Amino acid sequence: MALFDRTSTIGFIGAGAVGGSLGVCLSRAGYRVVAVGSRTFASAQRFAERIDGCQAHHMAQEVADAVQLVVISTADDAIRSVAEGVTWRSGQLVAHCSGATSLDVFRHPVSQGAVAGAFHPLQAFSSVENGVDSIPGTTFGIEGSPEVRTALADMAQAIGGKPVFLNAEDKPLYHLTGVMMGNLLTCLAATAAQLWEQCGYSRAEGVEALVPMMRGVVNNLERSGVPGAVAGPYVRGDLGTIRKHVETLDARAPEVLPLYRELARAAIPFGVEKRALNPKIAQQIEVILEPPEI
Ligand SMILES: NC(=O)c1ccc[n+]([C@@H]2O[C@H](COP(=O)([O-])OP(=O)(O)OC[C@H]3O[C@@H](n4cnc5c(N)ncnc54)[C@H](OP(=O)(O)O)[C@@H]3O)[C@@H](O)[C@H]2O)c1
């Protein structure tokens, strides 16, 4: 018999944005999401109301007793203590949704015969409503034994996700790519939008102006990949424009200059790879972007 399949039962501990979104998508895909618990019973009730046949429980143990697969979708810091607070059955599957947490947090369940995995959606979740819409097409980073990988990969595919298998040592690197694309890209957009205040507009107006451009960038990346989609003054070799950028930031927003310099320097090898940027011009750009010696 398979370790876990669509006929098996699933329970969630942690009824937040990720747990709630996965619960709804798995239930819609025909999986039996039958139990949920959370720190606050009201959160578990809200989760259960969205899913036919799902029951909210007060205790994590009640969830674990009711199902074959327990997904611990709490904040990262709570995963280990939640897992340690439960008595596990032999052959039961337990998975967390964290990209930054290793399977070491599941020593206790494994010592009792449970089987451990990780099921991490490489996506930014802010609410269940948004999460449910964004799951199709999302990559899922999966960790575990071959049997666990198969079970969790089937689950990812059933909800429109794309599974990738990760070794423990590669997980932090994989996770930080998501952080760069989610959190840091948002910070970059926020930093750029803030500069609009110096042009007589609000930061919100800056966001409004820049978001359609971000969509264009995403389309370009999807269509042309790297280095095809990499463009701009560094790829064109527009030395005068780059010099003007550096001088302007130095005078008007010096706190942004180190960030600009580093990102601009990162563009240079892609411009050369694209054969759009002559290596001699690339060297001159490097000189303009070098921080002054102190
Ligand atoms: N957000 C993202 O973009 C994202 C993306 C990929 C993966 N993840 C991972 O997904 C997991 C969940 O993240 P999230 O964004 O869904 O967090 P979240 O919205 O804050 O939800 C976490 C839920 O866990 C509950 N909880 C916290 N401590 C608990 C405990 N000790 N026992 C039981 N329940 C507890 C919370 O309690 P209440 O009952 O008080 O509501 C809340 O409902 C994390 O491992 C995170 O790294 C997040």
CATH superfamily of 9-166: NAD(P)-binding Rossmann-like Domain (3.40.50.720)
In sequence order, which residues have a C-beta less than 8 Å from that of residue 102 and are 6 or more positions away? 168, 171
DSSP 288: H
In the reported structure, the alpha carbon of residue 278 is separated from the centroid of ligand 1 by a whole-number distance in angstroms of 49
Best probe residue, ligand 1, of 41, 74, 183 (max atoms within 8 Å of C-beta): 74
DSSP 140: E
Residue-level pLDDT, tens digit, the chain, 294 residues: 577 888 999 999 999 999 999 999 999 999 999 999 999 999 999 999 999 999 999 999 999 999 999 999 999 999 999 999 999 999 999 999 999 999 999 999 999 999 999 999 999 999 999 999 999 999 999 999 999 999 999 999 999 999 999 999 999 999 999 999 999 999 999 999 999 999 999 999 999 999 999 999 999 999 999 999 999 998 899 999 999 999 999 999 999 999 999 999 999 999 999 988 999 999 999 999 999 887
Per-domain residue ranges for the chain? Answer: 9-166, 174-289
Q: Is 138 in the pocket of ligand 1 (CB under 6 A)?
A: no
Q: How far apart are CA 161 and CA 267, in angstroms?
A: 30
